[in-house]
Chain A
Amino acid sequence: MQSAFEFRGYTRVIARALVETMVPRWPGFEPELTEPVLQRLEATLSAQPRAVQTLIVAGLWGLEVSGPVFGHGLGRLSAVDRDERDRRLTAIAHSSVPTFRQGILLYQTLVNLCAYSMPEVERFLGANRREWRNDRQRLRALLVQLDDPARTPGTPEALGSHGVLTPAAYIEFGAAERVAEAVASSASPAADANPVTPAVSPVAPARPRPARPRRRTATERTATDRTASDRTERS
């Protein structure tokens, strides 16, 4: 494991101000994202070399005292209110000097990646990747099962081509169950207490595939018929 990285002292104050400005906010979205995103940012930076960590910290201090350089006034970045910080950072992000723009781009990329991968945000935006991944795991388990030569023809075929699911329904596999689960969980206070699906859940048992009559090959017909006639002779 890499050594844990964390913003310390006044650097943390600056980093918190930056993150608070950059995290998404929506009317009706309750969770406060600043502190969790800041912690995820620190965890992300832990995987990076010391030179990058140092660069990030130095850049934060540069932004903190950048007011006079960009004509934003003498106030430090972390000392002004959120709207003013947003105005300042946006101005730098659209600077005519590429280096300044790219600096902001680095921070906004890191913050956006951390923020928009949070389960709360994904759920709020209707992109619950955790449930989606579970659905996909079940679907693939079913497909692999279909490939089992003992059960089906040896040639792998797409699920859609069997008529089990149409291509249009393929991508929506499990959607009905997702809706049902969402309704059930919204009705249950206990479910709300821990609404996050485990990051990786075991593959659920595949649903049995509806039987589909298959034409026998010539070899199979011969073998089966011979067995039947043998039995007849023995009896």
Chain B
Amino acid sequence: MVMHRTDAPRLIIPEAGPGEWVLDCDVVVVGSGAGGAAAAATLAESGLEVLCLEEGGYHPTAEYSADIAQMLGRILRNGGATAIMGRAPVPYLEGRCVGGSTVVNGGMCWRTPERVLDVWSRAYGLEAFSARRLEPLFEEVERTINARYQDPGSEGPNNDAFKLGADRLGWRLSKNRRNQVHCVGSNDCVTGCPTGAKQSTLTTWLPRLYANGGAVVTHCKVERILRSGGRVVGVSGRVVDQGFERRFSVRARAVVISGGAVQTPILLLRNGIQVRSGAVGRNFTIHPNVKMAALFDHPVAVRGAHQAWQCIEFEHEGILMAPGLIPLAFQSVAFNDFGPRLAQRMRDHEYIATGGILVDDHAAGRVQVMPFGIPLIRYDVTDEDQRRFVLGASYLATLFFEAGAREVYTPFHHFPRLRSPDDIPRLKAAMPKVQDTEYFTAHLMGTCRMHADHRQGALSPDGQVWDHPGLYVADAASMPGTIGVNPQVTIMAIARHIGLRLGERLRRRAAA
């Protein structure tokens, strides 16, 4: 084996060498994000030899530069230029580095709502996912990733303005817990926390993996799932982005795929792995959201935490509102403009607050693989969800005006600006179309959903792909449906559950 060990213990960067690089282990985990890292650490703690393969590179805090364009290319898939096709394209972000999307997310920590778990345990036959049984897993996940409230004072004026508007309206706010230790409001979550405050899997689950003898191998793009005698027995692929050609293969007693809700079904389908229910790639939910901005008379932007609050007043309508502080460059793309006109507006950037509306979607998209292995990712925002977006926009505009905003900017093409609260009824009456709305998402879920009935789901309650012994999925794809809140804690709890069950099974088999 030719390898280069970095300063981080048990982190392996492949080097050039003759022939195929062949590795052996008990369990190979594909992906090192929220699902992969939690599953890998759990399996390693079960006494198994675990290898975690990551397609991207290893980028510790010291490498997170202030150059946004450079960072996007370094830690995001396709430099962030990824989009879901449908009635309106929905851009999305996917981490492609050790730590996966936990390196680039906003760090919100929400447990799966009990109403959702109730549906999962009753309608999907997932008894292990009742609120009572998941409680210890949630506690452990939160402890591991340091889910906690912001230090007082670190929230910043963007969050303060949002809170002021909600308080004046008497709307209920929920204080966000985030996986951070002394987040100091750098406002650079999406390009990698520059202070190391964010507790991505780099600083939480992966050290637990290392401490228990596991290792992460970077720059390994898995292309093939190896089968023998009716069982999945490993994976193979090629080393990428290293300036040399080399193939690798890993033989293992079990394979856990944790590439996320888009990459996982693509890998399975490219390998001809489908289940009888046809659920691999289906039931794709995305928590679509839209961004809004508001012009204030006092500075509200640039400095502070990404999101300290969420307004849960309209949660029963499937609408969640939140502030969302973003760096200058991202703020510039919140407006549908360019050149001198945008330049003029951006002179006021310090006075522009940003926020977003997240809708608990009802649509189901699909991830498919077309001829020649070309992926097709499709999702159509429904008219019902669009109605809730327009309603949510009217709520958020009301909140901004109540907080003192002079103007509010919407994501709707034909209704881009509200000059006063009097414009809000006109926005609702206009009911902008799906095609005239700019969406965005970072919460992709459900493309290999668990279900106790193999005729309806892709995975068993233990996370095994139905009818494919030895093959497991532990990531956002495993989730039976949309959850209405930021998903990283749910993903980690599910991955932990799958890891515990698989670890127990493999140990028993070895003992027998």
Contact = CB atoms under 8 A, between A and B. Distances in A.
Contacts, number: 179
A91 interface: no
Interface of B: prevailing SS: loop
A182 to B, nearest CB: 16
Contacts of B243: 1
Interface string A160-186: 110001111111010000000000000
A95 B124 CA distance: 45
Contacts of A119: 66
A10 B89 CA distance: 29
A113 B188 CA distance: 14
Contact of B337 (A46, A108, A200): A108
B182 interface: yes
A222 interface: no
B241 A1 contact: yes
A110 B330 CA distance: 10
Interface string A92-118: 011000100110010011111111110
A161 B152 contact: yes
B78 A130 contact: no
B121 interface: no
B153 A24 contact: no
B69 A113 contact: yes
B402 interface: no
Contacts of A52: 78, 81
A43 interface: yes
B153 A133 contact: no
Contact of A98 (B64, B88, B330, B331): B88
Contacts of A136: 184-186, 194-195
Contacts of A169: 153
A224 interface: no
A65 interface: no
Interface in A127-148: 127, 129-130, 132-133, 136-137, 139-140, 143-144, 147
Contact of B153 (A116, A125, A126, A167): A167
A166 B153 contact: yes
A13 interface: no
Contact of A111 (B79, B194, B338): B338
Contacts of B413: 94, 101
B339 A21 contact: yes
B390 to A, nearest CB: 17
Contacts of B181: 144, 156
Given A117-B67, A200-B65, A140 B195 contact: yes
Interface string A49-77: 10010000000000000000000000000
A24 B64 CA distance: 26
Interface stretch (B137-145, B220-228, B342-350): B342-350
B340 A105 contact: no
B73 A46 contact: yes
B237 interface: no
Interface string B261-294: 0000000000000000000000000000000000
Contact of A171 (B62, B157, B327, B340): B157
Contacts of A93: 336-338
B154 interface: yes
Contact of A160 (B151, B156, B435): B151
Interface string B115-135: 000000000000000000000
B491 interface: no
**Residue with the greatest number of chain A CB neighbours at <10 A, chosen from B72, B339, B340:** B339
A14 interface: no
A117 B350 contact: no
A15 interface: no
A2 interface: yes
B153 A127 contact: no
Nearest to B64: A200
A126 B70 CA distance: 21
A114 B79 CA distance: 12
B73 A112 contact: no
Contacts of A24: 339-340, 342-343, 346
B49 interface: no
A199 B153 contact: no
A74 B151 CA distance: 60
Contacts of B66: 119, 129-130, 133, 199-200
A16 interface: no
Given A133-B194, A160-B151, A113 B302 contact: no
Nearest to A168: B153
B178 to A, nearest CB: 14
B195 A160 contact: no
Contacts of A40: 69
A210 B342 CA distance: 46
A165 to B, nearest CB: 7
26 contacts: A22-B338, A24-B342, A25-B340, A26-B343, A26-B344, A46-B73, A47-B73, A98-B436, A108-B336, A108-B338, A110-B81, A113-B333, A117-B67, A129-B327, A133-B194, A136-B184, A139-B184, A139-B195, A143-B184, A144-B181, A156-B181, A156-B182, A170-B151, A171-B154, A200-B63, A200-B64
10 A-B pairs closest in CB distance: A167-B153, A170-B153, A47-B73, A47-B79, A24-B343, A158-B151, A160-B153, A199-B65, A117-B68, A117-B329
Given A143-B151, A158-B154, 11 more contacts: A26-B347, A44-B72, A93-B338, A98-B88, A108-B333, A113-B72, A116-B332, A122-B328, A125-B328, A129-B327, A171-B154
